[in-house]
Amino acid sequence: MPTRRSTLIATLAALGALAFSPAQAEAKKDFKVAWSIYAGWMPWGYAADHGIVQKWADKYGLKIEVTQFNDYVESINQYTAGAYDAVTLTNMDGLSIPAAGGVDTTAVIVGDFSNGNDAVILKDKSDLADIKGMNVNLVEFSVSHYLLARALESVGMSERDVKVVNTADPDMVGAFQTPDVTAMVTWNPMVEEISALPDAHKVFDSSQIPGEIIDLMVGNTEVLKDNPDFGKALAGIWYDTVTTMASDTPEGAEARAAMGAASGTDQAGFERQLAATKLFVAPADALAFTTSPDLEKTMEHVRTFLFDKGLLGAGAASADAIGIALPGGKVMGDAANVKFRFDETWMKAAADGAL
């Protein structure tokens, strides 16, 4: 099943041919939101199917169309090209695709971070240091590639100490069972399947870099500026839905079962994925995370990785090429070219009961 971890190789090649034009920036009433399958984003589909999107759109006199994409990267492409006003994506992909493509993008909701969903797995070895000299199968330029870089760094190594083998995500489980594959980096549900094999050993996972692989709902900055009620409606939809989903009630169980079914598993499978996901159910928790100094440290790791891989655009002379605005007025990189923003406005409004 397509996931948020899809490879960026084809996308990055295609982006050069796109004529980037932001979604129409003006006061308007009709908005389009794109999302794709991942544990932390399933609330968007549930909200659309159960009247929660309609409820909050009506509150602000808006029309909000929520569309599921089976191809994560295509959803970002469509947003970047201006066909959608908002989209679900990771912090890494938000910087490397729309922001690097010139589309000023703002994180409206910091929804969760991977807390074990992504892992480095070795065959017949139980120590991360044993990875030295191995071929490592992963989806190149994805968050798996980033996780590998952080894992290697933790034991004093770099990518020069291994050889990356680009492998499509549907092939992961089968590939690990072949004699030639001895190291792999992937994500759930593949991590769960591979880890159950007798010769598999998980030696590093995203819980060891907490808060670095972040899942967001972002919007076009100019659209949000001209239509602040759109941001309020997105926040209202999100917190209304996740509050129900996380509750220990029959309604919560029904929501988790529905989201599990929609993502190709069942309630138990979905709950296992949620257990490896730090979901910010309370807006105050999302606000605290977003305003923490740790966010700057995370984005420093991310932008360095992206620059090293040539993913900040052909003209990027350094990791500073694209400005990243943080809460409190801090800007990382080029303040004259800010294209990616973490804005706590709507999470704070939710925390204050001001939606």
Q: Are 179 and 71 in contact (CB under 8 A)?
A: no
What is the model's pLDDT at position 14? 44
Same domain, 338 and 228: yes
CB 157 within 8 A of CB 185: no
CB atoms near residue 116 (< 10 Å): 18
Indicate the length of the chain as a whole number. 355
What phi, psi does 89 have (nearest 5°)? -160, 170
Q: What is the value of pTM for the model shown?
A: 0.89
Q: 33 lies in which domain range?
A: 9-113+213-351
Q: Are residues 100 and 249 in the same domain?
A: yes
Name the domain boundary from 192, 208, 224.
208
Q: What are phi and psi of 163, to 5 degrees?
A: -125, 120
Confirm whether 337 is domain-assigned: yes
Other C-beta atoms closer than 10 Å to the C-beta of 19 total: 6
CB atoms within 10 A of CB 218: 31
Q: Could you tell me if 229 and 318 lie in one domain?
A: yes
Considering the domain boundaries, does residue 276 fall inside one? Answer: yes
Question: Rounded distance, CA 141 to CA 309, Å?
Answer: 8
Do 250 and 108 sit in the same domain of this protein? Answer: yes
- The DSSP bridge pattern shows strands 135-138 and 323-325 to be unpaired
18 assigned to some structural domain: yes
Q: Would 3 be classed as within a structural domain? A: no
Q: pLDDT at position 61, please?
A: 97
146 domain residue, yes or no:
yes
Examine residue 1 and state whether it is found in any structural domain, yes or no: no
Distance of alpha carbon 121 from alpha carbon 277, whole angstroms: 19
Q: How does strand 118-123 pair with strand 183-187? A: antiparallel
* Same domain (yes/no): 24, 130: no
> Measuring CA to CA, which residue among 239, 211, 216 is closest to residue 298?
211
**How far apart (Å, rounded) are the C-alpha atoms in residues 198 and 24?**
54
300: tokens are: 């420093």
Q: Domain containing 164 — which CATH number?
A: 3.40.190.10
Give the per-residue pLDDT at 170: 81
Torsions phi, psi of 277, nearest 5? -125, 125
For residues 207 and 181, give the distance between their C-alpha atoms in angstroms, rounded to a whole number. 24
Would you state the pLDDT for residue 17? 41
Q: How many domains does the chain have?
A: 2
Q: In tens digits, what is the pLDDT along the chain, a chain of 355 residues?
A: 445 555 454 454 444 444 444 555 678 999 999 999 888 999 999 999 999 999 999 999 999 999 999 888 899 999 999 999 999 999 999 999 999 999 999 999 999 999 999 999 999 999 999 999 999 999 888 889 999 999 999 999 999 999 999 998 888 999 999 999 999 999 888 888 899 899 999 999 999 999 999 999 999 999 999 999 999 999 999 999 999 999 999 999 999 999 999 988 899 999 998 999 999 999 999 999 999 999 999 999 999 999 999 999 888 999 999 999 999 999 999 999 999 999 999 999 999 999 9
Domain C-terminal end among 208, 228, 259: 208
Q: List C-alpha distances in Å: 210 to 17, 113, 266, 342.
A: 36, 7, 26, 18
Residues 337 and 224 grouped into a single domain: yes
| 103 and 231 together in one domain | yes
Angle at which helices 228-245 and 52-59 pack, to 10 degrees?
150
